[in-house]
Amino acid sequence: MPDKEAVAASRLLVVGDVMLDRYWFGAVDRISPEAPVPVVRISREEERLGGAANVALNAKMLGAQVTLLTVVGADEAAGRLRGLLERQGVRTLLGEDARLQTIVKLRIIGRSQQLLRADFESEPVNEVLAQMTGDFERALPDHDVVLFSDYGKGGLTHIARMIELARAAGKPVLVDPKGSDFQRYAGADVITPNRAELSQVVGAWRDERDLHARAQALRMKLGIGALLLTRSEQGMSLFDAGEPLHVPAQAREVFDVTGAGDTVIAAVAVLLAAGMTLREAMPLANRAGGLVVGRFGTASVSYEELLQ
Ligand SMILES: Nc1ncnc2c1ncn2[C@@H]1O[C@H](COP(=O)(O)OP(=O)(O)OP(=O)(O)O)[C@@H](O)[C@H]1O
Ligand SMILES: [Mg+2]
């Protein structure tokens, strides 16, 4: 584990799709006279950073310096995101797209049970995204590691160009991928798909040997340094130029698996920026993932917790 000073000195640039996770809690006393649905009297609201903003928060909680570059709308949710990020000490480079609806995932919870989730979202326009590429290029010199958090919402349209710029500047690039086109991640140092994300691209594997072959073929095709497969209750596997490395999941109670992938890539990025190798960082990131699945909602881990 790198010392706290090394972590505090590391500077991370997080780029990707952000969202606001909103929870409305209340009591259910009756069924609506208008339709056969419960009526929830809302008594409490909670808001959390989601997507790339949660990745940024996770890196910040570990003690790193973090900048989040993303595009938001000109709406109430963007203001809430800005406020939450500011309070957490995450620096922001926010492109504003007046036609974009900032992504909000609203959960209505009555009697401790999720009754409904309502998603608000739209795709960002190209001009604002192109402008963000300029901001990205200017921000690069002040950062040690670049992390792309792709949630498939359109914010990373120019990722191929951004990876090129980061590589030219000599900055390690990590990507949490999404979707069926991984060609756009070509040249990245590390990609961290989960099982579903990888199988969507290389197909289902029959056994570990087959997985190894498929992972290596993909790695070669894309010119990627390492593929770190997160495997939920099976821990994670690393495929790089050496022998594959497997780390089992920490046996523990699982409350909520949401956001474990965010925690993992944030931890890897921070530890790399602080001077560790990927092989050294991997078991620690796995531990961090194991810790957050024991918590409600998207959660994060501190430096001290990871050190224990
Ligand atoms: N059920 C589980 N039991 C133990 N550890 C888990 C479990 N689920 C996740 N983890 C830990 O978290 C890591 C990342 O989890 P996972 O592979 O599910 O990521 P993910 O699907 O990208 O998550 P998300 O997209 O919700 O953030 C795993 O490699 C493991 O260390
Ligand atoms: Mg994930």
Task: Report the separation in Å between the CA atom of 189 and the middle of ligand 2, taken as the mean of its atom positions.
Answer: 18
pLDDT of residue 111: 86
Task: Report the separation in Å between the CA atom of 207 and the middle of ligand 2, taken as the mean of its atom positions.
Answer: 22
In a domain, 35, yes or no: no
In a domain, 159, yes or no: yes
Protein residue whose Cα sits closest to atom 13 of ligand 1: 289
For residue 298, is pLDDT > 80? no
200-214 pLDDT per residue, tens: 999 999 999 999 999
Q: Helix 159-168 to helix 126-139 angle, to the nearest 10 degrees?
A: 10
What totals of helices (H) and strands (E) does the chain contain, helices first?
10, 13
Known catalytic residue: 262?
yes
Which residues have their alpha-adjacent CB atom under 5 A from ion ligand 2? 261
In a domain, 111, yes or no: no
In a domain, 127, yes or no: yes
CA distance 100 to 125: 8
33-62 pLDDT per residue, tens: 999 999 999 999 999 999 999 999 999 999
Mean pLDDT on 69-92: 97
List the one residue out of 263, 264, 298, 251 whose CA is nearest residue 107. Answer: 298
Average per-residue pLDDT for the chain: 95
CA distance 293 to 260: 6
In a domain, 37, yes or no: no
Q: Which distant-in-sequence residues (6+ apart) come within 8 Å of 173 by Cβ? A: 145, 146, 147, 148, 163, 166, 167, 187, 188, 189, 190
Find the domain containing 82 and state its range.
Answer: 4-20+49-103+123-307
Q: Which amino acid is at 224?
A: I
Strand partners, 194: 230
Mean pLDDT on 288-297: 87
Taking the CA atoms of the chain, what radius of gyration do you get in angstroms?
Answer: 20
255-291 pLDDT per residue, tens: 888 889 999 999 999 999 999 999 999 999 999 999 9
The total domain count for the chain is 1
The CA-atom distances, in angstroms, between 278 and each of 44, 190, 305 are: 42, 9, 20
In a domain, 113, yes or no: no
In a domain, 39, yes or no: no
Q: What is the CATH number of the domain that holds 285?
A: 3.40.1190.20
In a domain, 112, yes or no: no
pTM (2 d.p.)? 0.95
Q: State which ligand 1 atom lies nearest to the alpha carbon of 258.
A: 26
